[in-house]
Structure 1
Amino acid sequence: MSWNAKYAVGILLTFILLAAVMLYVFPVIYFITGVKAFTPANFSYTRIALWTVLGLIFFYNIFIEKNPFLIWKEKKYTTLFYIQAVIALYLTCSFGGAFLNLIIQLLTHEGMSSKLVQISSVFRNNYLLIIFTCLTAGAVEELLMRGYIQPRIEKIYNSPYAAIVGSAALFGILHSTYGTIGQVLVPFFIGIVFAFFYKKYSNIKILIICHFMYDFVSMMVMNFMDIKHLSAF
């Protein structure tokens, strides 16, 4: 099997496994635990499932691809650069995402994601779960979507732009389970920003930190807001 074929299978496997977790993990957890409710414990199991996907892709990489998981060698930067990069990425994603959400609201008048409302209730004052969830999103999603998928798409198509758009599109599609247009387009926008950064600076750690920070701030805001005000947020 050629390298491109191995990379293509790896990308497809990653997407299928992540999609399966997003779509079917709750019914499976309900069946195993016997607790058919959206509880903190059940939600934490879904995050463990995401770590399991990352582990499976690591195994695929080790035994099938037999190449470094991160094809692009990590570049080292100063502490000041880390701080500046995280702040710049966070502000870009926050203000850009807010503006995009505003446009979507004006054009579609779509309501609040019912899944997001459920999540907000589960996380209420559960700070350990918030941290675990944000850490999972930051590490698993960045290692898979940017660290693993993006460079391999570029290798297959010999195009950095195909890799940037392709990885961002997959990132957006995987968020479609939230059930709103905004929950697809905003992650797609963030995916574009992160993919451009990764292509230019080749440092996944900065993206993991920024992703964690973005989700953590968002969830803390949700934690201290009433459910009825979440749609405005």
Structure 2
Amino acid sequence: MGFNGKYSIGILLTFVLLVAAMLYSFPVITMITGIRGITADSFFLSRIVIWIVLIIVFLYNRVIEKDSFLLKKESSYSILFYIKAVLSLYLICIIGGAALNALIQFFIPEKISDKLINLVPVFKNNYFLIIFMSLTAAIVEEFLMRGYIQPRIEKIYNNPTAGVIISSILFGILHSTYGTLGQVLGPFFIGLVFALFYKRYSNIKILIICHFMIDFISLMTLNFINIKHLSVFLTL
């Protein structure tokens, strides 16, 4: 099997495992542990499942692909560039996400995701879970969606634009389990911004830091304001 075939299987494996983790981790956790509903313990275990997905994809890369996990060589930048890039990406995602959410509510008014509403009491003043969740989403999703999937799509189609667009669409679809259009288009927009940055600057660490900031600040702010103002920014 050539590299394109191995890359295609790896992309499919990654996306299927992530979707399965999003859809079925809580039912499986309930079956194994007896924990019912979304609690701090069950959510923590569900994030462990996400880490397991990263490990499985890493093993596939090492054993089957036998290639670099990150096909794009990491570029080095100054501390000042890191600061400016993270802040710029954060502001673009927050402002753009807010505008997008306003448009969605104007044309297609929709209620807040029931799943996100159920998560509010889980994260309330649970700072360890907030940090762990934010780190998990930032590290795992960036390594898999931007670091792993995006450059492999680019290689398969020999087209950088295909890597940007398809990986962003997959990132949006991945969040469809929250059941609202906003939770698909919001992550799609963020995924598009991140994918364009990764295509141009080839630095996954900056994306991890910014992704962490988006989720961490949003979840911390849940302690003070209504979730409806933040739901579009959450990329759990």
Normalised by the shorter chain, which TM-score bucket?
Answer: over 0.9
Cα shift at 1:25: 0.7
Distance in 1, matches of 2:126 and 2:142, equals 24
Partner-residue secondary structure (3-state), 1:75: coil
**CA, structure 1 residues 92+70, in 2 after alignment: closer, same or farther (shift >3 Å)?**
same
What residue ranges of structure 2 are gaps of 5+ in the alignment? 231-236
Cα shift at 1:231: 1.9
Cα shift at 1:120: 1.2
Cα shift at 1:230: 2.1
Partner-residue secondary structure (3-state), 1:223: coil
Distance in 2, matches of 1:37 and 1:201, equals 41
Q: Which residue of 2 aligns with 1:132?
A: 132
Distance in 1, matches of 2:127 and 2:95, equals 25
Task: Return the letter of the residue paired with 1:230.
Answer: I
Distance in 1, matches of 2:109 and 2:184, equals 15
Task: Return the letter of the residue paired with 1:196.
Answer: L
Q: Which residue of 1 aligns with 2:160?
A: 160
Cα shift at 1:223: 2.2
**What does residue range 84-233 of structure 1 map to in structure 2 within 5 Å?**
84-225=84-225, 229-233=226-230
Deviations 1:60-108 (CA, angstroms, capped at 9, x unpaired) = 0000000010000000000000000000000000000000000001111
Distance in 2, matches of 1:131 and 1:232, equals 20
Q: What's the TM-score, normalizing by structure 1? A: 0.97
**CA, structure 1 residues 203+232, in 2 after alignment: closer, same or farther (shift >3 Å)?**
closer
Distance in 2, matches of 1:232 and 1:138, equals 21
Task: Return the letter of the residue paired with 1:14.
Answer: T
Q: Which residue of 1 aligns with 2:33?
A: 33
Q: Which residue of 2 aligns with 1:78?
A: 78
Q: Which residue of 1 aligns with 2:60?
A: 60
Task: Return the letter of the residue paired with 2:223.
Answer: N
Deviations 1:183-223 (CA, angstroms, capped at 9, x unpaired) = 00010010110000000000000000000001111111112
Q: Which residue of 1 aligns with 2:8?
A: 8
Deviations 1:33-56 (CA, angstroms, capped at 9, x unpaired) = 112121100000010000000000
Task: Return the letter of the residue paired with 2:171.
Answer: F
Cα shift at 1:167: 0.3
Q: Which residue of 1 aligns with 2:50?
A: 50
Task: Return the letter of the residue paired with 2:218.
Answer: S
Partner-residue secondary structure (3-state), 2:222: helix
Distance in 2, matches of 1:170 and 1:146, equals 11
Cα shift at 1:165: 0.5
Distance in 2, matches of 1:80 and 1:26, equals 41
Distance in 2, matches of 1:223 and 1:15, equals 32
Cα shift at 1:166: 0.3
Task: Return the letter of the residue paired with 1:36.
Answer: R
Task: Return the letter of the residue paired with 1:144.
Answer: L
Task: Return the letter of the residue paired with 1:49.
Answer: V
Distance in 2, matches of 1:108 and 1:80, equals 41
Task: Return the letter of the residue paired with 1:37.
Answer: G
Task: Return the letter of the residue paired with 1:231.
Answer: K
Distance in 2, matches of 1:14 and 1:102, equals 32
CA RMSD of aligned residues (A): 0.7
Distance in 1, matches of 2:92 and 2:120, equals 24
Distance in 2, matches of 1:213 and 1:119, equals 19
Give the number of aligned pairs: 230
Task: Return the letter of the residue paired with 2:219.
Answer: M
What residue ranges of structure 1 are gaps of 5+ in the alignment? none
Task: Return the letter of the residue paired with 2:21.
Answer: V
